[in-house]
Structure 1
């Protein structure tokens, strides 16, 4: 199967490698390869002959400008895909994206989903929980030399490699014309994740529970955790931390 992966970051580069290992003909598309989703430049060539397109791009900002980014890029990608005869459009989104309207980026990702659903091509939406790889950057937003401040927001983080496996399965299967949630096997509160992470890194700073701290302070309830129909990944956060511990 010929598959075009749009985006070559943390997920895109790994996804392309997994799909190639499974025997598929993969094209990667990004600004560095001459493909600009905002203008449409390079899209026709990148999608030529593709059966499936997997869109794992991110907006360059997380504010309200992300709405315009997704409105334009999804429109260009759907139009180019229809022209190229693409038969399956896949997008990576976020678990709970429709439950946190106070976050600009979540509203923008929801718009991305809505445009895809209303488009001309059969589709699949894979919603993932927060990545293991983003836990420490999230902590850094509200950290200083003396403490880390985090809200007690329920989360169910997942390894990027497990997200890639789910995307690869969906991309090579029949369109869902719906949503698949994927999540890690364990639920924590974000402040608990902080304590686990600092202990694994032998960082002696305390974690102060502060429900006003950081981006996820805006989240209410357990909307960032997966429901009973979700695909649960095999990798546990503590095991992943041990495997990535710096010597």
Structure 2
């Protein structure tokens, strides 16, 4: 099976390419560095020739509201149009658990727009909703930092290791299209403020985590379960404590 991975040189993409290669698939990483640009269409038609599956794990180079919306709209539109012309039979996209509940954020509005384009395309599809990666905890802390204080809400979060995300996307890619959403999450549920406090302590980071029920998450005020998956989510195996110990 020929699988083209858009964003195939990034964190998830590179892991996904390696996993699919191990299982004998013809996997092609596609990114601007490999001559494929979904914004301009450069190289798209060539790389999609003979592909049965396209997996989009790309991300916007800018998270500014207008820029990220423009990226996902243009990139997804070009990709789906070229897939239809090439006869691709399964489009897989990586998105985020809670996207539809985080619409106060420009980034998540853009991800929602991406998902709507996929659903309307007529191409059989699967959308993988993952919870926040372990590796993203640093970014969450940075976004919530003011001086030496990290202000976070005491809401639930069930983070996941990027390796486990890549594995879930890979399983979805080689399976039949679900024409819906597959959710995947880590094995343990934490309180967001406590999780970041634990992560900072492990890195000897001197910042103080302040618990604030009204602290926003990338522009959105959270309810207790906003970041959690539903009851049918696939549960990955790697625990945050084990990953944290590996980093040390």
> What TM-score does the superposition give when structure 1 sets the normalisation length?
0.93
> Which residue of the partner structure matches residue 227 of structure 2?
224
CA distance in 2, matches of 1:22, 1:69: 32
CA distance in 2, matches of 1:132, 1:146: 22
Q: For residues 116-195 of structure 1, what are the structure 2 equivalents within 5 Å?
A: 116-143=118-145, 146-195=148-197
Q: For residues 1-247 of structure 1, what are the structure 2 equivalents within 5 Å?
A: 1-7=1-7, 8-62=9-63, 63-143=65-145, 146-210=148-212, 211-212=214-215, 215=218, 218-245=221-248
Does the 8 Å CA contact 1:157/1:183 hold for their aligned counterparts? Answer: yes
Does the 8 Å CA contact 1:151/1:217 hold for their aligned counterparts? Answer: no
Cα offset, 1:162, TM superposition? 0.4
Does the 8 Å CA contact 1:103/1:218 hold for their aligned counterparts? Answer: no
Q: What do residues 77-106 of structure 1 show as CA deviations (whole Å, max 9, x unaligned)?
A: 111111111110000001011112111111
User: SS in structure 1 opposite 2:100?
Assistant: coil
Unmatched runs of 5 consecutive residues or more in structure 1: none
Range with greater deviation from structure 2 (20-29 or 207-216): 207-216
User: SS in structure 1 opposite 2:99?
Assistant: coil
Does the 8 Å CA contact 1:78/1:120 hold for their aligned counterparts? Answer: no
Aligned positions, number:
245
CA distance in 1, matches of 2:48, 2:69: 24
Does the 8 Å CA contact 1:2/1:25 hold for their aligned counterparts? Answer: yes
> What TM-score does the superposition give when structure 2 sets the normalisation length?
0.93
Cα offset, 1:217, TM superposition? 5.2
Cα offset, 1:204, TM superposition? 5.0
Does the 8 Å CA contact 2:135/2:162 hold for their aligned counterparts? Answer: yes
Unmatched runs of 5 consecutive residues or more in structure 2: none
* CA pair 6-144 structure 1, distance change in 2 beyond 3 A: same
